[in-house]
Each structure stands twice: as structure tokens, then as C-alpha cells.
């Protein structure tokens, strides 16, 4: 008997018992749907994080305070802070560096007339534009003079300006930040969020002003910054820059109490984390696939027992053991592969919903679909073997007598 006949026969048998067939498939359907959804979600998260990291720019290094030792001590020993003087030293003493932007920030209410909004108040320097590749939409950005004079000037993030001024021209107006009046000198171009920071919703003031008027002096070593971003002369000089900065800061601080990260190292770390996450999600979901396979085996075993007479009759009229084996195997494979397909469709549509409702660009990868359907078919084959062999080995005489 050829394969198409076996296939038709198996399909007919399954169709004759639709309720049972669909219930049998349920486990595989759920297993596949969860695998597809989980892997899609993991990949979506990965893409999201990568996108965020890539928006940092390829030449940028981040210097953040903290050391391995203090981390391991559970943060008992407070690391020496990075200060504005560190940033100035890097700018003047490291030749492979183009621009250096120290940053510190705090939360606060920004108000214009009777409109208030909570916002991030970022203190930085003129190099911020270069390092983070921002453009000024209207007016100007902060200048070295602003830093020296602790000027009360502010550059507004695009969306914040929109919200606060509602179409009015912001330039030349005055806003209050934590009760202090600032002159609006510029508005930044819109850029979207990167690494969870959304400068579109922030206000930028001179870092010296932030220290002297808003957060106060918090470090004995100078004006504290939360991190320093540095842009190297070129992508090739990244390693040199990192080396030179490390040396300089070691000398200044007397130890390794800082980290230097580039977009690449951040990407690497993120890839490892999200990759592990995806793998873990897939592994958990795969368990339900295996459970689904066991469900198929279970129902098939019951089915063999129930269909003893049918099997005996088929043998009496000329079916060989192989014919019976193949028929039951195909039934198992149809159930699991079809379940796999339905589950995949289900998982894919749930991912579609997720990508609409969340910032994740969660996608269904063809590889995930192929693997899921292939694995389901394999599971059907694997778990179908035991019942199919039991059916094939039935003694037709005993089977026919079991009326």
C-alpha cells in the first residue's frame, strides 16, 4: 500500500472522530503556540534592546562610576564619584577623543505660567550635542560661557516644549524649574528614547547650574556626574581611547572605580542576556510540547485498544504489520503536525497582538515556525511508535474474537 493511500486512510479515520482528534491535538497546539509566542517575544525584546543600543552611536564610550569590588561587597563601600573635572581632564589630555559630555540628572517640576509638568532635569555641557548626535531645532544649545557663569538658561526637549507651550513659541520665554526662573534659549530636535532615556521629555541646563542651584554639591571631589559619554575620533580609535581614558582615570582616582562601556560591549552583554532569556522561554515552552506528545501517545494507546477489532479485520483482509504500523504512525504525525500548525498560527497571532500593544517589534521568525512544526511532527513520530507497534503486533485471531 502506498503512502498516499495510508495518508488518506489515516485522515479519514481522524476526521470520523473529530472531537477526539481535536482534543488530542490540544496539547500540541498549546505547546506550539507557547513556543512560538515565547521565542517571538524573546526575539522582539532582543531587537528592541539592540535598537536602543544602536541609537547610541558607534563611536561612543560610556564611563560609569562603580567597581567590581564594591559591587561584590553588596555596595557597602561607596565608589568614588566621577566628577566634571574628570570629564575636563579627558577632554584636554586624551588625544583620541573628540568630545566629552558629563551628565547628571534629577527629577523636578517644570512650569510655564499655570502649566506644570514633571520632567528629568539634565545637567550637561555643550559637547552633549556632538556625543549624543542631537541637533538643535530652534535657538542654540548650552555654551562654555553658560557653564562658567552658572547661567540660568535651559534647552527644552522637543515633546516637553510642545506640552508646556502648546504651539506657542518657547524661545525667549521663561520657565520655572524647581521654582527657579530659567530663560529658554533653545529647543532640541525630536529623537525618541534610547536606553530608557528620553531626552525629548527632558530639560537641559548647564551642569554647573544643576550642581550649584538644584542638586547641590554631593561629592568632596568636585561636581558629581552620573556618567560621562565620550565620542572617539573614529571607530578605529575606540580601543585607544578606552585605554587612554582608563589610564588617566586610574591615575586620578588611584584605582579602578569606574567602568567603560562601548555600544559593542553593551550589545554583546545584551545579546547574551536576551539570548539566554529566549532560550529559557523556549525551553519552558518545549516542556508543554513534550507533554502534548505524551497526550498523543496516551490517546493513541486508548485508540489501539478500542480499535482492536478494526485492526484484526484489516489484518484478516490482507494488511501486513507494516501497513498497520504506518497507518497508526501517520495518524500520530498528522495529529501532531496539524496541531503544530494550528499552534503556530495561534502563537503568531498572539505575537501580532503583542507587537501592536507594546513597543516590542515582536516577529514570527520562519526558523521558529519550521522548528516548531518539524519538532511537532517528530514528537508525533516518537510518541506514535509505541501505540503503532502495539497495533501492528496484535494477533488478528485474538483481535477478532474480542467482540
Residues that bind other proteins (CB under 8 A): 1-2, 5, 9, 12-13, 16-17, 309-310, 312-323, 396-397, 400, 403
Q: Where are the alpha helices (DSSP H) in 55-78?
A: 68-72
Minimal distance in Å, beta carbon 396 to other proteins? Answer: 5
Minimal distance in Å, beta carbon 403 to other proteins? Answer: 5
Give the Å distances, CA to CA, from 142 to 82, 120, 147.
21, 17, 8
The nearer residue to other proteins, 321 or 367, going by C-beta atoms, is: 321
β-pairing verdict for 258-262 and 174-177: unpaired
Minimal distance in Å, beta carbon 6 to other proteins? Answer: 9
Minimal distance in Å, beta carbon 20 to other proteins? Answer: 12
The nearer residue to other proteins, 317 or 357, going by C-beta atoms, is: 317
The nearer residue to other proteins, 191 or 389, going by C-beta atoms, is: 389
Within 10 angstroms of residue 51's Cβ, the number of other Cβ atoms is 13
The nearer residue to other proteins, 256 or 323, going by C-beta atoms, is: 323
CA separation for the pair 335, 29 (Å, rounded): 10
CA separation for the pair 138, 46 (Å, rounded): 35
The nearer residue to other proteins, 54 or 402, going by C-beta atoms, is: 402
Phi then psi for residue 322, to 5 deg, are: -65, -40
Output the CA angle 327-328-333, nearest 5 degrees: 100
Locate 31 and state its grid cell: 505547546
The nearer residue to other proteins, 347 or 396, going by C-beta atoms, is: 396
What would you report as the CA-atom Rg of the chain, rounded to the nearest whole angstrom? 33
Minimal distance in Å, beta carbon 323 to other proteins? Answer: 6
CA separation for the pair 324, 322 (Å, rounded): 5
CA separation for the pair 243, 319 (Å, rounded): 77
Minimal distance in Å, beta carbon 312 to other proteins? Answer: 8
Amino acid at each position: 500500500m502506498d503512502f498516499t493511500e495510508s495518508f488518506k486512510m489515516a485522515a479519514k479515520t481522524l476526521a470520523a472522530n473529530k472531537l477526539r482528534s481535536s482534543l488530542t491535538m490540544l496539547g500540541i497546539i498549546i505547546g506550539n503556540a507557547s513556543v512560538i509566542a515565547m521565542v517571538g517575544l524573546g526575539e522582539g525584546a532582543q531587537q528592541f534592546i539592540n535598537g536602543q543600543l544602536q541609537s547610541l552611536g558607534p563611536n561612543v564610550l560610556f564611563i560609569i562610576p562603580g567597581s567590581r569590588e564594591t559591587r561584590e561587597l553588596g555596595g557597602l563601600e561607596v565608589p568614588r564619584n566621577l566628577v566634571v573635572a574628570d570629564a575636563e581632564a579627558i577632554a584636554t589630555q586624551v588625544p583620541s577623543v573628540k568630545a566629552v559630555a558629563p551628565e547628571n540628572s534629577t527629577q523636578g517640576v517644570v512650569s510655564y505660567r499655570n502649566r506644570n509638568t514633571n520632567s528629568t532635569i539634565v545637567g550637561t555641557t555643550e559637547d552633549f550635542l556632538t556625543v549624543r548626535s542631537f541637533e538643535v531645532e530652534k535657538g542654540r544649545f548650552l555654551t562654555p560661557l553658560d557653564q562658567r557663569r552658572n547661567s540660568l538658561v535651559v534647552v527644552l526637549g522637543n515633546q516637553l516644549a510642545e506640552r508646556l507651550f502648546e504651539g506657542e513659541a518657547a524661545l525667549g520665554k521663561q520657565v520655572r524649574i524647581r521654582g527657579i526662573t530659567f530663560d529658554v534659549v533653545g529647543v532640541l530636535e525630536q529623537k525618541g528614547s534610547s536606553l530608557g532615556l528620553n531626552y525629548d521629555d527632558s530639560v537641559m541646563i548647564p551642569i554647573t547650574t544643576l550642581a550649584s542651584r538644584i542638586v547641590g554639591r554631593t561629592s568632596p571631589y568636585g561636581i558629581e556626574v552620573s556618567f560621562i559619554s565620550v565620542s572617539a575620533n573614529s571607530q578605529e580609535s575606540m580601543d585607544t581611547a578606552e585605554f587612554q581614558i582608563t589610564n588617566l582615570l586610574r591615575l586620578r582616582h588611584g584605582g579602578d572605580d569606574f567602568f567603560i562601556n562601548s555600544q559593542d560591549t553593551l550589545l554583546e552583554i545584551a545579546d547574551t542576556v536576551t539570548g539566554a532569556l529566549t532560550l529559557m522561554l523556549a525551553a519552558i515552552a518545549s516542556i508543554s510540547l513534550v507533554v502534548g506528545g505524551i497526550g498523543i501517545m496516551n490517546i493513541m494507546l486508548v485508540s489501539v485498544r478500542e480499535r482492536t477489532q478494526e485492526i484484526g479485520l484489516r489484518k484478516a483482509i490482507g494488511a501486513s504489520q507494516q501497513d498497520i504500523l504506518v497507518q497508526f504512525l501517520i495518524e500520530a504525525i498528522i495529529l501532531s503536525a496539524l496541531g503544530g500548525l494550528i499552534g503556530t498560527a495561534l502563537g503568531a497571532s498572539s505575537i501580532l497582538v503583542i507587537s501592536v500593544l507594546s513597543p516590542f517589534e515582536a516577529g514570527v521568525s520562519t526558523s521558529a515556525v519550521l522548528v516548531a512544526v518539524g519538532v511537532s511532527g517528530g514528537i508525533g513520530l516518537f510518541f506514535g511508535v509505541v501505540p503503532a507497534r502495539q497495533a501492528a503486533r496484535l494477533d488478528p485471531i485474538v483481535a477478532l474474537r474480542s467482540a
